[in-house]
Amino acid sequence: MDEVIVSMRGICKRFPGVVALDNVDFELRSGEVMALLGENGAGKSTLVKILSGVYERDSGELEILGKAHGNLTPKQAQTLGVAIIHQELNMCRHLTVAENIFLGREKTRGGILSNALMEAEARKLLDDLKIDIHPAQIVGDLAISKQQMVEIAKALSINARILIMDEPTSSLTSKEIDDLFRIIRTLKASGHGIVYISHRLEELQHIADRVTIMRDGQYITSMNYADTTIDKIITHMIGRELKEKFPRVSCEKGKEIFSVKNLNAGRMVRDINFSLYEGEVVGVAGLVGAGRTEMTRAVFGIDPKDSGEIILDGNVVKINSPEDSIKAGIVLAPEDRKKDGISTKLSLRHNYALPNLDKICGALGIINRRKEESLCNDAIASLSVKTPGLDIDAGTLSGGNQQKVVVGKWLARDARVMIFDEPTRGIDVAAKVEIYNIINKLKQNGIAVMFVSSEMPEVLGISDRIIVMCDGRITGDMLTKDATQNEILTCATNFESKMSAAAIQ
């Protein structure tokens, strides 16, 4: 234990127009969890990509297990015992658990591929971690948490001593997070070193031994977790004291703008009724699988409705597609921004322009470049998007700036209703505050705002009223000032008992 297994000194990395890493130091010891922290764009991902062989460094020294190395390829890093578990899991969904674990290193017997041998070795790896997954299961049929466990087993199958976990809890339930932390403790006890990247600072108390903090591509400090506080960590991350984590503005509640009546859509959206008002942010709480995202998709016209009405400014509107919704003035910042919110391979210019072609094209369908430039620059300025220019790919931006692009493309439409589904997932604490301020600004401008989040403190911190969902239905509707976490959790878990009690009455 306490053996230094990774030492990075004076690491520099430049991309066109951007200094991603500027003389960064980093150290990892065996048997510890090192939390690598910083705002989006601080350079965390670039640093671990150099360690795992994805990027080449421009300068600096790298030692792994006491030996100096030049720039690595991913295969070389893997051979040295470095494994990375990405936030977006990289798995072949149509293959079995065992086939994924040994992909590219398939086991053979007598020169013939042996599924039995791979399944036996996979079974041992899973049993050692106390993971209840059958090696013959198809990965695509597993929950995200189980897929993540398979990735960890895959890392151990290559004898990895150094595991990098990038936002591993972003899509997990509380029970699944507990299972992950149990496995992390097991890995620590066996001498593995774990680099843990997360924006959920409150969870570090359960697993972190030390923290390294980065800001604007530079190393700021390292310290024992026991010797610091979350407030001090945040101050180091953003370079100033963050006085208010959940800024909320007070507005007078105005008229009803939007309502949904008796909405049904598939198995997870059942008899939904709610209203949104001017000057009010309505939070939507509930456990994973409660139907929150399915409800937003049905309202926005992504998924077909079985029945129900959508009413905007007193008039029934027909929403059969996202195009209908956008034209009506109802817009959605979806849960998975990379999959559904932005086109990562297109430039910021094209991401802003695509949903607004009707506003920037002339009568012949030709884009008016002056209007396009003005629309894009206004969106970037109003949300303070950090970017070298309009023509870089949206996928190169940090998570927080990608989320601003998702929101910014809708601002030009003068929407009446803005629905946010998990808008702060995977972004840092300062970027979260910027998103909250955007929501407050929309609220002040009389736009109806719905805010879906799995984070209970966030729902309580930013919302004026809270809707709770369970099993595809709304089971609670309360003013935030009167709500407690226990009351919300009760509504989120006790639907069946509520129905039974109602039936008896």
pLDDT category, 175, cuts 50, 70, 90? confident
Q: Report pLDDT for 191.
A: 93
* Amino acid code (one letter) for 431: A
Q: Which of 225-234, 246-255, 423-432 has the lowest mean pLDDT?
A: 423-432
In this structure, is residue 405 part of a structural domain? no
Strands 4-15 and 465-470: unpaired
In this structure, is residue 451 part of a structural domain? yes
Q: Report pLDDT for 72.
A: 95
Same domain, 216 and 123: yes
pLDDT category, 55, cuts 50, 70, 90? very high
* Amino acid code (one letter) for 385: V
At residue 151, does pLDDT exceed 90? no
Boundary-marking domain end, from 205, 238, 271: 238
Structure confidence by residue, pLDDT tens digits, 276-314: 999 999 999 988 778 999 999 999 999 999 999 999 999
pLDDT category, 501, cuts 50, 70, 90? very low
pLDDT category, 88, cuts 50, 70, 90? low
In this structure, is residue 56 part of a structural domain? yes
At residue 461, does pLDDT exceed 70? yes
Beta strand ranges found along 320-416 (DSSP E): 330-333
Cβ atoms within 10 Å, residue 5: 22
Same domain, 221 and 272: no
Q: Report pLDDT for 494.
A: 65
Region label for 215, one of left (φ > 0), alpha (ψ between -120 and 50) or beta (otherwise): beta
Boundary-marking domain end, from 209, 238, 267: 238
Same domain, 145 and 276: no
Task: Name the token pair of 422.
Answer: 């998990």
Same domain, 273 and 167: no
Burial of residue 255 (number of CB atoms within 10 Å: 0-12, 13-18, 19+):
exposed
Query: Region 348-363: what's the mean pLDDT?
Result: 90
Distance CA 346, CA 350 (A): 6
Same domain, 152 and 286: no
Q: Report pLDDT for 363.
A: 82
Q: Name the residue among 469, 487, 426 with its Cα closest to residue 292.
A: 469
How many domains would you assign to the chain? Answer: 2
In this structure, is residue 190 part of a structural domain? yes
Range of the domain at 13: 4-238
Same domain, 77 and 214: yes
Same domain, 32 and 172: yes
In this structure, is residue 21 part of a structural domain? yes
At residue 502, does pLDDT exceed 80? no
Q: Report pLDDT for 302.
A: 94
Same domain, 483 and 335: yes
In this structure, is residue 352 part of a structural domain? no
In this structure, is residue 376 part of a structural domain? no
Query: Region 66-73: what's the mean pLDDT?
Result: 95
Same domain, 234 and 301: no
Q: Helices in 329-368 by DSSP H: which ranges?
A: 348-353, 357-360
| CATH (domain of 11) | 3.40.50.300
**Residues 156-174: b if buried by 16+ CB within 10 A, e if exposed:** bbeebbbbbbbbbbbbbbe
pLDDT category, 148, cuts 50, 70, 90? confident
Across the chain, mean pLDDT equals 89
Residue 53 Cα distances to 57, 70, 83, 358, 379, angstroms: 9, 10, 10, 44, 36
In this structure, is residue 248 part of a structural domain? no
Structure confidence by residue, pLDDT tens digits, 208-223: 999 999 998 999 999 9
Same domain, 180 and 297: no
Boundary-marking domain end, from 238, 272, 305: 238
Q: Report pLDDT for 169.
A: 83
C-alpha 394, offset from chain centre: 16
Same domain, 233 and 269: no
Sign of the four-CA dihedral 457, 342, 12, 57: positive
At residue 79, does pLDDT exceed 80? yes
Same domain, 330 and 436: yes
At residue 503, does pLDDT exceed 70? no
At residue 253, does pLDDT exceed 60? yes
pLDDT category, 498, cuts 50, 70, 90? very low
Query: Region 97-114: what's the mean pLDDT?
Result: 89
Contact yes or no for 427/199 (Cβ under 8 A): yes
